[in-house]
A and B are shown apart, each in its own frame.
Chain A
Amino acid sequence: MKTEVILAGHGGQGVLELANWLAYFHLARGRHVAYTPSYGPETRGGKVKCYVVASDEPIDSPIVEEPDLLVAMNIPSMDYLPLLKRGGRLLVNSSLVKDARSRADVTVTEVPAAGIAAALGPYSPQKGRDTSIAANSVMLGAVLAIEGEELERQRATVEEVFRHFLTERKAAYIPLNVQAVEDGYRHVRGAPPLLRAIPV
């Protein structure tokens, strides 16, 4: 197994976090991973673009030149579309990218990440607060669905990812983020959001 992903968006969307989570998910599955944050000219003007490679074999170049998957969190990210491998996958955050133009050979998946995250509000321990910040976790669920992971069997791995990154005060957000991953995953698989009890 080997996947190469470009994730792009702008500062404040949690793109780098998302990329770290994705890489760590694969690491926890026992794979080799390489994550490259934005660097050089790409970092000016708030642009974010990063690479995640995951592979059962040791990774040669960590630089993603022909991704299997492009995660486009905003409109300028669509500039990377020509890089996609033939038959590659495009995942767009349709909360920001409307009517994603695409290529004939590319399969497009649209996920209204902010909307799905915001709908979690009443069901999360953060009820009453704006939960649309969990949009990047929704996208993580979507990526896992596209990459063919079986979330039912990988729930513990997802929790491990969040336990690794969300420590101390942020740990309170782990349940919300796991829920967001679930709903992002289900959206791609064509299933409705999970029915959850409202915490009391």
Chain B
Amino acid sequence: MKHLVLQQQNCNTRRSNSFRTSGSLDSSVDGTFKSPAALFWLVLHGLCCLISLVLGFRFSRLIFFLLFSTNTTTTTTTNHYTVPALLRTTSDTAQTLTLQTPSLSPPISITDTPSNRTSTTTTSSRVVVGRHGILIRPWPHPNPVEVMKAHHIIERVQREQRLQYGIKNPRPLIVVTPTFVRTFQTLHLTGLMHSLMLVPCDLTWIVVEAGGTSNETASLLEKSGLRTIHIGFEERMPITWEARHQMEARMRLRALRVVREQRLDGIVMFADDSNVHSMELFDEIQSVKWIGAVSVGILAHSGNSDDSSSLPQKQEDEENFPLPIQGPACNSSGRLTGWHTFNSLPYVGKSATYFDDRATVLPRKLEWAGFVLNSKLVWKDVEDKPEWVRDVDTLAADGEDLESPLSLLKDTSVVEPLGNCGRKVLLWWLRVEARSDSKFPPGWIIDPPLEITVPAKRTPWPDAPPELPSSEKMNDVQEYTVKHPSKTSRVSRSKRKHESRIADVQVSGRNAEGN
């Protein structure tokens, strides 16, 4: 009870209050000062207190406990009430004199030792007032079988919660992902694959691969267990980011055409392989009717600046500009009034123009990833298709720059803002790629396994593993000094992390072999 928490904080003053005010009311206290028997008890108690001082534990309680433990009749009422009550109250004040160590009356007792006093004289009760032992079983550790049972219960409860309060009858999802062969393709696709495997509804994953389908990608998609449609796109990925964005848009249209040909039903969402999706996104998009937009957080990091003098400026930049968000903008009544787009002004002249450029990679004004469509919008002959949507074929034929699915619409005001009207950021845009001259093992398999150990001084990798990301800015300065001058300083952040990881592997491998 909470009030007893407060009670125990103020117990001393409260008890002194009680003594002051109840001095006249509490007849038992009056009685002890008047009758010789009670006086005898008082003297005995004082003796016990002195003994406790010497011995170092509370002697008085133990003696009375042992003396009266044999006496279990129900007629022992008032004597035993006054004496232990007196003991308890006065021994509390005498607590400052006696040491606290409980020894012979230990709190840890395996057997149940109920106290000797019963609570009522009229009817017998199973519940006794007074000191009880604290029951502890000999092996208080969790039983693994029971832990599993508990998890079954939790899982069943959560399933029931989802059934009752979650999405009922989720519509199937169609996920469109443009991808191309590069070092980090496996990394990104694996991450996306795991996200999609957790989605609790039917899923069709359309992967459009530039440069034709590759075996590695196909084997990766097979391992997922999802229903996938792997499409090869004949052109190769261009170098410049401008052209890349356009080609990705064309690849997405290709996927939409597949949706139309096969008349796939459901909700179309665009998941770039390098993006990060939250599970709430998949629940939120179920509520779209025709076309909806969610807020996308843009993690546009700069590739790295060479000179350390720009570091303080970068810090200042990050203080001034919070995480940029792309998405729908609403007025106070929850209706779509406009769009938050990525503000590329601070990056003018500093943005990456081609792949593997060290400068910042910027997103477009409005990313495709932030939009979801009802698949019926791209079907050919549907009666209730709204008039504000253009045909997919006409779009591709035009060849105009397809910035976002908004080009599919004649009237952009029909877009439904999702995620609490764009206030919730449900996915993040991030372009992290490996360096072009990176030394990643092909297929991510080190074959034959590492046997040769090379001292660290001979390797171009840094000796010390980098510190935690919170101190990464300081780390930048450190690592540059450690590096050999021959190495160029064009490093993307991901590359650095991977280097350190391999360095760790080397170090641990060396240690293991050394032992």
Q: Do they bind each other? A: no
Task: Please list the residues of chain A having a beta carbon within 8 angstroms of any beta carbon in chain B.
Answer: none
Task: Please list the residues of chain B having a beta carbon within 8 angstroms of any beta carbon in chain A.
Answer: none
